[in-house]
A and B are shown apart, each in its own frame.
Chain A
Amino acid sequence: MPAVATTRDGPDAPGGAGMSARRGRPRGTPLQRRQARTAWLLAVPFLLLFAAFTAGPVFASLFMSFTDMRSTDLRTPLNVELAGLDNYTQLFSDPLFRKVAVNTAIFVVVGVPLTMVLALAAAVGLNGIQRLRGFFRLGYYLPVVTSIVAVAVVWRFLLQPDTGPINQLLGVVGIDGPDWLGSTSLALPSLIVMAAWRNLGTLMVIFLAGLQTVPREMLEAAEVDGAGRWQRFRYVTLPLLRPTLLFGAVITGIGYLQFFEEPYVMTRGGPLNSTRSVSFYIYDHFGFGNYGYAAAASYVLFVAIVVLTALQFRLLRPKT
């Protein structure tokens, strides 16, 4: 799938450390040239594997998106017609595709900030305590390594309309809890909360590492200057954390744009397609045998990922 390629943004994605060096191209000092050589050398194994096993199918699938290939053409793939942009125009005129695109957009726009805020809060909290830090770190990280199937069973139980603990808790304070996964307006928000819970562990560990790099002297200096807790966090910690936040936003954004597992195991895209995502739609169409059409949808998703990532780089790039 094309989307896979975007997760490897090159050496300068994590932390954004390589960005300023790149501005000074093409020829730098001998040291820089030596570094560039080493970088290429290290990248060679990946590039070879990519060229041998991934590049061909990626380009072929791009080509496939401009044909009318279906599963019935499997034995005779030469028997297909070029369809030009037909798949793409058909895609954008499909009301279901527009619906899943909106669902995915909501998932990203609400889910990414929510996950980041929760993860940052957890990281700051854990950074401030010494005892039991390992215990809590493990606790928050556990959902990340737990199988989605097990997670789904537990969450479905939690969200049960009559017998679920969440609604029973609401019942105690006199609120008649809704059917979370059965309602077209609440199912997607429920999945967003679940995804945030499930993914905050990874971000928390990354943010925790970022917090450790904030120099203590700087915070102390700010304190001496009369900055309160919030001000220290807002004007010292947060700006220094920018590259880490960018990295977190990029990987979460890429992951959430492709969200698939949550609706697949929890709601099967229902009720009334209110939790169907673009990835789910693509999966369906590959299943229906519409290979050309599904390939076109994959490339639309790929472009969306590139655009979102570029946008995040613009918004969150370190200010110099």
Chain B
Amino acid sequence: MSRQMTAVAALAATALALTACGRDDEGSDGEAAPAEEISEGPATGNIEVWAMGTEGEGLGAFLAGFEEENPDVTVEVTPVPWEGAHDRIATAIAAGETPDVSLIGTTWMGEFAETGGLEPTPTDLFSEDDFFPGPWASTVVDGTSYGVPWYVETRALFYRTDLAQQAGLEPPTTWDDLKTFAQGLQQAGAQQGIYLQPGQGGSWQTFMPFAWQNGATLTDGDAYTLDSPEMIEALEYYTSYFTEGLSQNTVLQPGALEQMFADGTIGSFISGPWHIGLVRDAGATDNFDVVPLPGRDEAPGASFVGGGNLAVFTDSDNKDGAWKLIEYLTQVEVQQSWYEAITDLPSMPAAWEDGPLTEDELVATFGEQLEHTEAPPAVPTWEQVASVIDTDIEAAVRGTMSAADAVADMQSQASSIGTGLQ
């Protein structure tokens, strides 16, 4: 058992034992309080920031520019590994010992906002219109925004140009095209025309774009709405790739996908911008391209959007400085140089219009795709429902359940889990 997890549980349990019980009937702690006024002038004081992964490693040095603009400020960046970051933030919120700012995975927003541990976004400082709509939606919990999109990632279609040329095919724009395309790549020599994740952790990120393209929705704002004919049709379309032998029905080991794509075993796949580098490292250089996802009847289709948001904690002692730091990180030029520093994709359309992001055509494709994205709902129980969807996708792909039964099972489990919003 994870130590972190045990710590959270123990802490929560202790806190529980020390206090009396009884959930308030009228509303909860998740209710939005009006955002505090942000002062004029430069930021001051100490700002503690948590960031995960590459962001955590790069951010400290990157913020030299911010400290120059605000001489009275000291920024302290703590890198936190992604593994265990969720529990660490949860523990910090429970103990009231949070940093001022943290990077928060988009799918965690619902849960943390609902605890009351995050500050509502000051709307006078940040405008929804400056950001891509999908990423902005990931910050909104029950009608209130609790953070600002920092960087984004979305999924597009990678394919081997040499195989496509051999098959005489143009990049697909519709579902029918995509099927023909995969068959063509296979005839041109690939063992698998397309690799679609056949289940297990995160396979909803590959499947849901097809459902969204078909008009399916995850929630109506209050409840999960998974069992729609659109969802069933999308799952049937998805599973047809496995029954027709165009994609393998077992999950690839990490690292295998890039290798198999580079040596032509796999003709195409759907993934995010980080795969550009991985595929090049694996040996494919000029023989692949990236295009936006096909739609059901016309391109481009909707894709999944993820990434990281920046949020300020209720227990922060320096909310003023914290929001100013976030404001700095969401300036167009800063977003562009952040891309140059660690290739994080900017969350603001303006940052894509000129400068470094227009230089690499493959990267620019993701900018195009970002205009057509959907985010998973920002509700506290999303991760649990996502794992239900993953399992049902796997069951449908392996043929142990029909698509209709799988979707019905998703819905019945999701309904009993509930959205977790009060």
- 8 Å CB contact of A67 from B21, B96, B117, B387: B21
Looking at the complex, which of B10-18, B55-63, B123-131, B266-274 is the stretch in contact with chain A? B10-18
Q: Say whether A79 contacts B115, CB under 8 Å.
A: no
Residues in A with CB closer than 8 Å to B334 are: none
- 8 Å CB contact of B200 from A78, A270, A279, A295: A270
The interface centre, meaning the residue of B1, B15, B20, B96 with most chain A CB atoms within 10 A of its CB, is B1
Q: Say whether A77 contacts B384, CB under 8 Å.
A: no
**A residues 257-313 in Cβ contact with B at 8 Å:** 258, 260, 268, 270-273, 279, 282-284, 286-291, 294-295
| Nearest CB of chain B from residue A260's CB, rounded to whole Å | 6
Is residue A254 within 8 Å, beta carbon to beta carbon, of the partner chain? no
Residues in B with CB closer than 8 Å to A184 are: 398
Residues in A with CB closer than 8 Å to B199 are: 270-272
Is residue B317 within 8 Å, beta carbon to beta carbon, of the partner chain? no
Is residue B230 within 8 Å, beta carbon to beta carbon, of the partner chain? no
Is residue A69 within 8 Å, beta carbon to beta carbon, of the partner chain? yes
Residues in A with CB closer than 8 Å to B93 are: 74-75
- Number of B residues contacting the other chain (C-beta, 8 Å)? 50
Residues in A with CB closer than 8 Å to B30 are: 72
A113 to B22, CA, bound (A): 48
Is residue A242 within 8 Å, beta carbon to beta carbon, of the partner chain? no
> B-facing mask of A75-115, CB < 8 A → 1, else 0?
11111111000000000000000000000000000000000
Residues in B with CB closer than 8 Å to A282 are: 1
Given A289-B380, A295-B9, A79 and B29 contact (CB-CB distance below 8 Å): yes
Q: Say whether A56 contacts B14, CB under 8 Å.
A: yes
| Nearest CB of chain A from residue B8's CB, rounded to whole Å | 7
Residues in A with CB closer than 8 Å to B387 are: 284, 288
Residues in A with CB closer than 8 Å to B420 are: 70, 72, 289
Residues in B with CB closer than 8 Å to A289 are: 90, 111, 380-381, 384, 420
Is residue A60 within 8 Å, beta carbon to beta carbon, of the partner chain? yes
Q: Say whether A79 contacts B23, CB under 8 Å.
A: yes
**B residues 36-92 in Cβ contact with A at 8 Å:** 86-87, 90
Q: Say whether A71 contacts B16, CB under 8 Å.
A: no
- 8 Å CB contact of B253 from A60, A74, A156, A279: A156
Residues in B with CB closer than 8 Å to A284 are: 387
Chain B residue nearest to A74 (CB atoms) is B94
Residues in B with CB closer than 8 Å to A182 are: 250-251
Residues in B with CB closer than 8 Å to A142 are: none
- 8 Å CB contact of B250 from A76, A179, A291: A179
Is residue A61 within 8 Å, beta carbon to beta carbon, of the partner chain? yes
Is residue B243 within 8 Å, beta carbon to beta carbon, of the partner chain? no
Residues in A with CB closer than 8 Å to B111 are: 71-72, 289
- 8 Å CB contact of B394 from A71, A72, A272: A272
Q: Say whether B8 contacts A286, CB under 8 Å.
A: yes
The interface centre, meaning the residue of A3, A273, A287 with most chain B CB atoms within 10 A of its CB, is A287
A287 to B420, CA, bound (A): 15
A181 to B61, CA, bound (A): 43
A59 to B200, CA, bound (A): 35
Q: Say whether B381 contacts A268, CB under 8 Å.
A: no
- 8 Å CB contact of A76 from B1, B5, B29, B394: B29
Q: Say whether A268 contacts B116, CB under 8 Å.
A: no
Is residue B201 within 8 Å, beta carbon to beta carbon, of the partner chain? yes
| Nearest CB of chain A from residue B356's CB, rounded to whole Å | 37
**A residues 184-240 in Cβ contact with B at 8 Å:** 184
Chain B residue nearest to A90 (CB atoms) is B416
Is residue B285 within 8 Å, beta carbon to beta carbon, of the partner chain? no
Q: Say whether A60 contacts B17, CB under 8 Å.
A: yes
A309 to B17, CA, bound (A): 30
Is residue B6 within 8 Å, beta carbon to beta carbon, of the partner chain? yes
The interface centre, meaning the residue of A80, A273, A288 with most chain B CB atoms within 10 A of its CB, is A288
Residues in B with CB closer than 8 Å to A76 are: 29, 116
Chain A residue nearest to B20 (CB atoms) is A78
A280 to B200, CA, bound (A): 14
Residues in B with CB closer than 8 Å to A68 are: 23
Is residue A246 within 8 Å, beta carbon to beta carbon, of the partner chain? no
Q: Say whether B16 contacts A67, CB under 8 Å.
A: yes
Is residue A12 within 8 Å, beta carbon to beta carbon, of the partner chain? no
- 8 Å CB contact of A77 from B5, B19, B86, B394: B19
- Residues in A lying within 8 Å of B, measured CB to CB: 1, 3, 56-57, 59-61, 63-64, 67-82, 156, 160-161, 179, 182, 184, 258, 260, 268, 270-273, 279, 282-284, 286-291, 294-295
Q: A3-B1, A279-B1, A289-B380 are in contact. List 18 more A-B contacts (CB 8 A).
A: A1-B9, A56-B17, A57-B14, A60-B16, A63-B17, A72-B114, A75-B93, A77-B12, A77-B16, A79-B22, A79-B23, A80-B16, A179-B250, A271-B251, A283-B2, A286-B8, A287-B383, A290-B384
User: 6 tightest CB-CB pairs across the interface, nearest first?
Assistant: A60-B13, A182-B250, A60-B17, A78-B19, A57-B10, A288-B384
17 A/B residue pairs, CB under 8 Å, sorted by A = A56-B14, A61-B9, A67-B16, A70-B380, A71-B12, A72-B30, A72-B115, A72-B420, A75-B115, A75-B116, A80-B21, A268-B200, A268-B201, A287-B383, A288-B384, A288-B387, A291-B12
